[in-house]
A = this chain, B = another copy of it.
Amino acid sequence: MKMFTYCVRRRALQMCLQSSHYCNRCALQLNRAHSTQELESESDLTTTLLKLCEDRSFIAPGEAPTRALRRGNACGYGPLGKDLKKNILDQWWNSITRSKAQVFGIDTLQHVRNDAGSLKLVDASAIGQIINDKDLTKNQVVDRLHQLLQNSSPVRTNLLQGALEQCLPSMELVKRKLPFGLAETGTCHQVLDQNKAAIGCSSELTEASLAWFCSPRTSLQWLDHWTQQRLKWWRKFALSPSDFSSSGVVEAELPDGASRGVQVMYRFPWGSEPLETLWNLGESELLKTHGNDRAKLQCKDGRKLVVPHVVAVNGNMDRGLLAYLFNSLQLEKKKVSGKQRLHQRKVLKLHPTLAPIKVALDMGRGATVERRQVCEGLLTEFLDADISVWPGYLETMPQSLEQLHSKYDEMGVLFTVMISEGTLENGLLLVRSRDTTITETMHISEVKAYLQKYISAADNI
């Protein structure tokens, strides 16, 4: 098998005939040298980000969640993290299922019938009963445990297997015309490293998977198509797109059955890690799943009948979420007004489509019942228009404007709307933008349309 790379600069898949596995640029990225100073500031950045994520309800507090996230596993998400993850998954879903008319969504079980992995769900009390039974000999214990394991459900370690199993009814839906795809997002489980498990780490992750069934002669083109589409998608929501790149996978690292592979990588402070993998699996995995029954799997490629080749696209969305958090964190040194002290402004400049909260409603000090009613009216108006709102006006502890803005900046809130005493008289309110830090005066009747326009414009870039 020949080596190949995906070159970011030229945005094309290319065959590598030279001895090195990566083109110069990719190799540079992967082997980026770190000086001691660099390493320190990197770990600072990581600490800062993870602290912010805990403080602002992106992730559940504690040591374990941040460790899990760094390993590319899921962690417990707080309200903001949950919405951010949902927004990322929704965007992934739309980009995959709407790019081509014939991509179907499926929802397979986590308990599978056959899985290459050996992770099984067992009733620990049943095992306990067997091993605590003093009357049983060793052989009897072994026999009973074997039987119990045989009857236990394996759990899925990836989404691909489910898609391969469900491909037959979908073939009927498209009258066996190629290409078509099956998309799914969901939780997968990993074999536990006992040492890690002992210190309370999780080993689950949220995958987003597309199994693309196409004719053998077009499979390489499709691999190229999806590689470009995926890289473009990751970069669409990035503040600094160049941190996302793609690179070919060397033969030794390809999974069983794959003949080619590409990875979309993100440059984390501690090094590059894959966010999404694309494998050209040929026909072997599909045939294996269906007992090598070629006749059952035949589809139409023009007038010829062929067994489809599978291009598998597989994203680790927990790691993707962390990538977007790192990518959007901006640290700005600024002078605190009137004082000589330098203050570090932390802003989570998440893409408007991904930002979990689009607008915060607040009313500053000395709030009255009437102003609260205005806030509640706006809240309902925004929610009805599917604009997510943070009801800051419910908070009774007075905060300075500066404290308020730095809180919302860290939460990645796009706009802060302030209802003042004057709003009750003339209907004017203050709208402050996260990205420009500029505050504009706007009439209350215009705010909703302004926000909608801003968000949908960002969506269509």
Contacts and interface: CB of A to CB of B under 8 A. Distances in A.
Interface string A97-112: 0100110111111110
B394 A101 contact: yes
Given A124-B118, A131-B141, A79 B109 contact: no
A198 B151 contact: yes
Contacts of A125: 118
Nearest to A172: B57
B151 A197 contact: yes
Interface range for A: 35 or more
A198 to B, nearest CB: 5
A127 B145 contact: yes
- The listed residue with most B CB atoms (<10 A of its CB), out of A61, A86, A124, is A124
A139 B274 CA distance: 44
Nearest to A77: B107
Interface stretch (A31-39, A185-193, A216-224): A185-193
Contacts of A368: none
B98 A383 contact: yes
A139 to B, nearest CB: 9
Interface string A355-390: 000000000000000000000000100010000000
A255 interface: no
Interface in A1-60: 57, 60
B107 A76 contact: yes
Contact of A131 (B145, B177, B197): B145
A248 interface: no
A204 B187 CA distance: 13
A138 B144 CA distance: 13
B152 A191 contact: no
A153 interface: yes
Contacts of A98: 383
Contacts of A155: 121
A425 interface: no
A220 to B, nearest CB: 24
Interface in A178-216: 186-187, 189, 191-192, 194, 197-198, 200, 202-204
Interface string A106-150: 111111010000111111111110011000011001100110110
10 contacts: A61-B169, A110-B187, A111-B189, A121-B192, A127-B149, A128-B149, A131-B145, A151-B197, A175-B395, A186-B187
Given A111-B202, A138-B141, A153-B203, 13 more contacts: A61-B168, A79-B173, A109-B202, A113-B200, A119-B123, A123-B194, A124-B154, A126-B194, A137-B138, A152-B192, A153-B202, A174-B394, A187-B187
